[in-house]
Amino acid sequence: MEFRDNKAIYLQIAEYVCEHILLGKWKADEKVPSVRELAVEMEVNPNTVMRTYELLQNKSIINNKRGIGFFVDEAAIDNVINYRKQQFIIDDLPVVFRNIYLLNISFDELENQYKTFVKENFNA
């Protein structure tokens, strides 16, 4: 995996795991790769992956069955969405807001743009 420069590695790995869950590659109650397996795949220190898994456990995205390993939580998808929403509001929204303010874009214009985007990309 190519890591970006602007974010801690353990968070980037968390995003990777979340992505897999959202895309349905790892389903609820399925086992996720062990710390070591994921560390090897990512070419990172296992302690970093451990930190990722601790974070995801706190967010109830994965859970630890003692002695067996880590599993995707039943409510993982909702929790991933919640977690990413939070992240988006903290990390990305301020930048968007700043630009909206600086460029003086009206909410009507914004709504139109948003609808077109959804239509073009997701056919909704």
Partner 1 sequence: MININNLNFGYSKHKPLFKNMSMRLSNGHIYGLLGKNGAGKSSLLKNLAGLVYAQSGTLDVMGFNPAKRQPALLEQICFIPEEFYLPSVKIDAYLKANAPFYKNFDHSYFTDLIKEFDIPVEQKLINMSYGQKKKVIIAFGLATQAKLVIMDEPTNGLDIPSKAQFRKIMASAMTDERCIIISTHQVRDLDNLIDTVIMLDENDVALKASVEEITAKLTFKKVKEIDDSIIYAEASLSGYNAVMPNYHQEESKLDMELLFNAILAEKIKFKPLFS
**Positions that interact with partner 1 (CB under 8 A):** 3-9, 11-12, 36, 39-48, 51
Rounded to whole angstroms, how far apart are CA atoms 27 and 77?
9
Q: Torsion angle, CA of 108/113/116/117, rounded to 10 degrees? A: -140
Least distance to partner 1, CB of residue 96, Å:
18
Between 2 and 108, CB nearer to partner 1: 2
Rounded to whole angstroms, how far apart are CA atoms 56 and 87?
13
Least distance to partner 1, CB of residue 82, Å:
18
Between 6 and 123, CB nearer to partner 1: 6
Between 7 and 115, CB nearer to partner 1: 7
Least distance to partner 1, CB of residue 37, Å:
9
Least distance to partner 1, CB of residue 114, Å:
28
Rounded to whole angstroms, how far apart are CA atoms 31 and 73?
10
Rounded to whole angstroms, how far apart are CA atoms 94 and 87?
11
Between 7 and 27, CB nearer to partner 1: 7
Nearest to 31 by CA among 60, 1, 62: 62
Q: Which residues on adjacent β-strands are paired with residue 63?
A: 71
